Amino acid sequence: MTLSEFLKRDNIAWTFSKILVFGQSNVPKPMISPPISQAQTIIIGATRYMIQFILQNLYPKRIVQANYWFLQNRYQISRALPNSEEYIQMIENTRRQLMQTNLLDKSQTVQRMLTSTAYATWTIAVMQRAMQNSRTSDWLVPATPNDVEDIINIAQHINYGKFKRYRKIYINPSFAAVNLLTEPDANSEVVLILDDTLVSIRTTSSSVILKEYFYYLWAYFTILYILKHNILESYPTDIQPIDLDLLPNINNLAVWWTRYDYMLVIPVNILLFNVQNSKLFNSFDAFVDWFVVQLLAARGT
């Protein structure tokens, strides 16, 4: 079971709603990239990849991991979606060309490269939606000029200078130890790790800050905590975690609203305080015990 599927279980969602308590609030700055495209569900995925490609271009020496769904699942995609192999190759060629482009040069060459990249990331998002919906015939939805403009507009209004302070950047992080507890998740909301911060991206026009945006991040943090502290040793399981030394220490959870270029960072200690003061658990250890039991019960389902 993937972590996305696990979090849809009624008892999990209900418990998280009781321990992660936020007051109603909004993003405290105006929107800088209003929606242009009529296909926002695809724009969400395309923007994620567009931003990740640009980060890999700007900070290549700080990238610890860069995992991309279309490459990791290339064989399965090419078997399921007719003619998809040529599009996968186009996407990868575009990504490699972008890596060799000086994005700080405000030339027409750079603008053409961004346009090509927007088309490529749109295609990834379309491909991913087709695989998730089992839409194997007529899967390709061509991007319109408005779609491409929307993706580029979001990407160009982001201040990438704020990433200078991070020494380690993980793009679509994947860890063998985590995959022993949950299946690899194409819908993972942990799209970046910046040093000690788990980051989820929200490409939405809504400025409302919902506590549900932090559920996935909190679950992922808890899994990392369980693994790093060898908590599974206390449970009857055949899981033998590996590569534990590769797991980062996480101290913050963050949600990044791309249309506002606003990142809300919440220290884990605040959320630990919420758990300890909830009516469901008298300590974080008690919550972890409950979480492990639920997670192990869901494995293989």
Same domain, 144 and 179: no
Neighbours of 154 (CB within 10 A): 24
Looking at 128, 156, 184, the residue that finishes a domain is 156
**What is the C-alpha separation between 105 and 57, in angstroms, rounded?**
13
Residue 59 token pair: 């900070």
pLDDT tens digits, one per residue of 229-274: 999 988 888 888 888 899 999 999 999 999 999 999 999 999 999 8
Same domain, 121 and 200: no
Residues 64 and 11 in one domain: no
Task: Say whether both 170 and 241 belong to one domain.
Answer: yes
Task: Specify the number of domains making up the chain.
Answer: 2
Instruction: Let me know whether 50 and 138 are in one domain.
Output: yes
pLDDT of residue 54: 98
Residue that has been written with the tokens 């469901």 in this structure: 280
Q: Which pLDDT score is estimated for 242? A: 81
Which phi and psi angles does 183 have, rounded to 5°?
-70, 150
Pair (181, 148) in one structural domain: no
In a shared domain, residues 258 and 190: yes
Strands (E), the chain: 25-26, 63-66, 169-171, 192-194, 197-202, 208-209, 252-257, 262-267
- Are 197 and 288 within one domain? yes
pLDDT score of 22 = 79
Residue 125's Cα: distance from chain center in Å?
Answer: 13
Mark whether 195 and 210 lie in a shared domain.
yes
Q: Please indicate, yes or no, whether residues 111 and 128 belong to a single structural domain of this protein.
A: yes
Residue with tokens 């972008």: 98
Tell me: do 148 and 186 sit in the same domain.
no
Q: Are 168 and 131 found together in one domain? A: no
The arithmetic mean of pLDDT across residues 191-203, rounded, is: 98
Among 113, 141, 156, the domain-final residue is 156
The pLDDT of residue 301 is above 70:
no
31-76 per-position pLDDT tens digit: 999 999 999 999 999 999 999 999 999 999 999 999 999 999 999 9
List CB contacts of 140: < 8 A, sequence separation 6 or more: 83, 87, 123, 126, 130
Q: What is the pLDDT of residue 158?
A: 98
- Give CA separation, 3 vs 122, 139, 148, 273, 295, in Å: 25, 26, 31, 24, 9
**What pLDDT is attached to residue 35?**
98
Separation of alpha carbons 155 and 48, rounded Å: 10
Range of the domain at 74: 36-156
Give the pLDDT band (50/70/90) at residue 300: low
pLDDT-derived band at 143, boundaries 50, 70, 90? very high
> Which of these three, 156, 185, 217, is where a domain ends?
156
